[in-house]
Structures are given as C-alpha cells and as structure tokens.
Structure 1
Amino acid sequence: MVVVLPISALVVSRLHKIFGSEDLNANAGAGIEIVQFNPKVVLYEIYGSAGATANINYWDADANTHQVNNAPLPWSFTVSTTLPSVSANIMAQTDGSRIGCRITVDGVVREEKKSDGVNPQTFCLVKSA
C-alpha cells in the first residue's frame, strides 16, 4: 500500500503532462481591456438681441446645475466628456426682446429654440447624447 500511492501519483502526474492538462482559466482576473474612444463635445449657445444680457442655467457632464447671471449675449460654453452618454439641458432668460438657445453635440445641432417678447425665456434639452 505504501508503494502503490507514490506510484499512482507519479502515473497521474505523467498522464497530465502527456495529455496536455492546461489551466482553462489562465486569464481569469485579467479584466476586460478598456478601449479608449473620442470624447463627446457638447456646445451650449445662447444668442439674442444686441447688447442684451441673460441669466443662464445649464447642466455639466455629470448633470450638476450651473448658473451664470447677466452674461452678455452671445454666450457659449463647451463640455467635453468620455462618458458613454450625457444629457444636455440649458435654460435662459434675457432682458432683451429675443433669445435663442442651441445645443450642438460633436458638431451636429441636436436642439435649437427661439423666443420673442418682453424678457423672453427659452430652453433646450437633449435627453441622450
């Protein structure tokens, strides 16, 4: 019995080497390679009457709200992100007689609105860019 166990272990070891026992999980835990991609570029624009100013609220790439008071028109702001998707939202009100907003994503106008009147306001929204 004492001789049989070491001989059995040796035979099993040799058979594993001969028949190519391999670690099927050799790359386990290595992780998935992250492929870099071009960032999204979101351009916010507010335009209106010459010499007018506007109070502007917009979202950044993480949907945090930012406020700009008495911004001279035209006004623009660019957000660049590597997030796979981003929501863009801008609201503005002017002391002039007309106002417009535009959201451009990667050079393509995705939303544009205009408003006229006394202290007009407008908003533009792109739910998923």
Structure 2
Amino acid sequence: MKSAWVYGVVLLVLGVTAIFIAGLRLREIPDLAIGHSTKPPTLGRTGEKVIDYEIDGPAGTPVRLSYLDEQGNVKDVSADLPWRTSLRTHKLTLPTGVVAQSDADQVSCRIVVDGQSRDAQVSKGRFASVNCTVPVS
C-alpha cells in the first residue's frame, strides 16, 4: 500500500498529458511548416449573364435544333423559323452552343451574350445546317 500513490501519480500525469496533446491536435495552429495556409479570399456574387440563342431563316420553315442549357445539358427542339430563347445564369463560366438544320435553302445562328453578338454563322444550300459556339466567361 505504501507504493499505491505512485500508480495514482502516474495515471494523473498520463491523463493530463493526454488532455494536453488532444487539445493541441484539435486546435488550429497557423504554422506553415505543417501545411496550413491562409483561407482564400471570399468572392462576391457574380453578376447575372444573359445568353440569347437565335436561329433565323425563311419564316415558318421547320427547323430541328439542339442547344446547351444553363446546366450544360443538351436540349433538342423541333420548331418553326425564326426561333429564339434566352438563358440566365450566375455561373463564372458556361459552355454555350447551338446546332440547327432546316429544309430551307438558308439558315443562320447567332449567340448574344449580355447584348453583344459573340458568334454568328450562315449556311446556304439544300438542307442547310449551322453551328454556333461560345465559351462564356
């Protein structure tokens, strides 16, 4: 019984040491030597972008087209010329594109981003087809 206090002191020292080490491990230590770095700057909300797809040709002519929506998914559409649609997004970058084929002798496509024409193509001939693409950033 005389040496029982030694076991108590050893257990107490081990417990205090474990609590101290756990506190160090759970605490954020800004030491670049162990791989910590500063947080990146917070960006503000990006402005809204408006993307307009336009397909033109002889009025009333049927057209089959595909375009990329604001999620990057392909949308297939059968419509009559002229055809237009608008997309609105807050994404930093967005792939955009439209492909169209018509029975008409002429068809044209245009992509307008925030009021600026970014791509325009015209195709002439039987079963005309056009392709417009713009990486929006």
The count of residues paired between Structure 1 and Structure 2 equals 102
1:100 pairs, out of 105, 108, 111, with 108
- Structure 1 counterpart of 2:134: 126
Q: Distance in 2 between matches of 1:128 and 1:83?
A: 9
Q: Distance in 1 between matches of 2:75 and 2:64?
A: 11
Report the RMSD for the aligned CA atoms in angstroms.
2.1
Q: How does 1:48-59 map to 2 (within 5 A)?
A: 48-59=57-68
Q: Distance in 2 between matches of 1:62 and 1:128?
A: 13
Given that 2:60 and 2:82 are in contact with CA atoms closer than 8 Å, whether structure 1 keeps it comes out as no
Q: Distance in 2 between matches of 1:108 and 1:31?
A: 33
State the identity %.
Answer: 31
TM-score by length of structure 2 reads 0.67
Q: Distance in 2 between matches of 1:34 and 1:112?
A: 33
Structure having the larger proportion of residues in helix: 2
| Runs of 4+, deviation exceeding 3 Å | 30-34
Structure 2: gaps (5+ residues): 1-29, 31-38
- Structure 1 counterpart of 2:71: 62
TM-score by length of structure 1 reads 0.71
